[in-house]
Copies of this chain bind each other. A is one copy, B any other.
Amino acid sequence: MVRISILGYGKVGRQLARAFHEAGDIELVQVYNRTAVKESASGTMKFVSDLADLSEADIYIISVSDKAVAELASQLPFHDKLVVHTAGSLAQEALGVRNRNGVFYPLQTFSHRRAVDFNGLPVFVGAQHADDLELLKKATTALHARTFEVDDKQRKALHVAAVFACNFSNHLYKIADETCRESNIPFDVLHPLILETAQKIMVMEPAKAQTGPAVRHDEATIGAHLEFLSDPVKKELYQLITRSIQHA
């Protein structure tokens, strides 16, 4: 049984707390949040809003905004415990030296009101000590997640890749949504296309899956699309991504 406490009940902390609460071989000891949590859905979870109330645990997982990690870590009322953060681009050392440092970075997009499935999800872990790494692996195993050991630099590369593949793709979906609405077309007609585009690269390299006017060098269609787009930022995006596809 691994005892875990979650510090920070935001988008990531909420999903981790729920997942660990439901997982076998894990005791979710406490969930700390700076402000009191009033949530009927929290059920039997134990919430605290004063760091002084934190009990003994094997792993303390800090899931607050990147810039708040160092301060929270420095305020912990204990030392020589395993304390990890969940951030993609933050060095492990940001956690300071009062406790044993580590990282527990689940590679997923977290939104309120959408349960994340940790089954098969890659979780990137790091720790200073072999025993701590084992503890983190027990935690990922309890979630049925896939575990990878990476260093800070690889984790940052992963985060950059995730920003392109997820955050930026989602913004392109938003532009597509707006483009449909402006022509009185329901956005859901694009759902099969969006899903197929995502599924295709599970079996085919993205470079080989590329379709469309840019890769075909279909300058007539590209010109018609640029003429169609009245918003200058969307036009600039269209031009830059087209150029990037053509010079890849």
Collect the chain B residues with CB atoms within 8 Å of residue A168's CB: 172, 212, 237, 241, 245
- Asked whether B224 lies within 8 Å of A167 as measured between CB atoms, the reply is no
Complex CA–CA separation, A96 to B233 (angstroms): 36
27 A-B pairs within 8 Å (CB atoms) are namely A67-B218, A89-B213, A108-B193, A108-B196, A150-B185, A157-B182, A157-B185, A157-B228, A160-B229, A161-B185, A162-B190, A162-B193, A163-B214, A165-B194, A166-B193, A166-B197, A166-B212, A167-B211, A167-B215, A168-B212, A171-B210, A171-B241, A173-B201, A177-B201, A191-B202, A195-B198, A195-B202
Collect the chain B residues with CB atoms within 8 Å of residue A167's CB: 210-215, 245
Measuring CB to CB, which residues of chain A are less than 8 angstroms from any residue of chain B? 11, 65-67, 88-89, 107-111, 114, 116-117, 120-122, 146, 148, 150, 153-154, 156-177, 179-180, 182-185, 188-216, 218, 220-221, 224-225, 228-229, 233-234, 236-238, 240-241, 243-245, 247-248
Main secondary structure on A side of the interface with B:
helix
Would A190 and B107 be within 8 Å (CB), given that A218-B65, A228-B156 are in contact? Answer: yes
Q: A156-B228, A166-B212, A168-B212 are in contact. List 7 more A-B contacts (CB 8 A).
A: A107-B192, A148-B189, A153-B183, A165-B173, A165-B190, A170-B211, A173-B209
Min CB distance A49 to B, Å, is 23
- Asked whether A193 lies within 8 Å of B212 as measured between CB atoms, the reply is no
Min CB distance A218 to B, Å, is 6
Collect the chain B residues with CB atoms within 8 Å of residue A215's CB: 167
- Asked whether A174 lies within 8 Å of B207 as measured between CB atoms, the reply is yes
> CB within 8 A of A244: which of B171, B212, B220, B247?
B171
Would A107 and B179 be within 8 Å (CB), given that A172-B168, A220-B67 are in contact? Answer: no
Collect the chain B residues with CB atoms within 8 Å of residue A241's CB: 168, 171, 237
- Asked whether B200 lies within 8 Å of A109 as measured between CB atoms, the reply is yes
Q: Which residue of B lies closest to A223 (CB)?
A: B89
Complex CA–CA separation, A158 to B192 (angstroms): 13
Complex CA–CA separation, A162 to B146 (angstroms): 33
Complex CA–CA separation, A170 to B199 (angstroms): 11
Min CB distance A147 to B, Å, is 11
Q: Which residue of B lies closest to A229 (CB)?
A: B160
Complex CA–CA separation, A170 to B201 (angstroms): 8
Complex CA–CA separation, A209 to B11 (angstroms): 12
Collect the chain B residues with CB atoms within 8 Å of residue A176's CB: 161-162, 164-165, 206
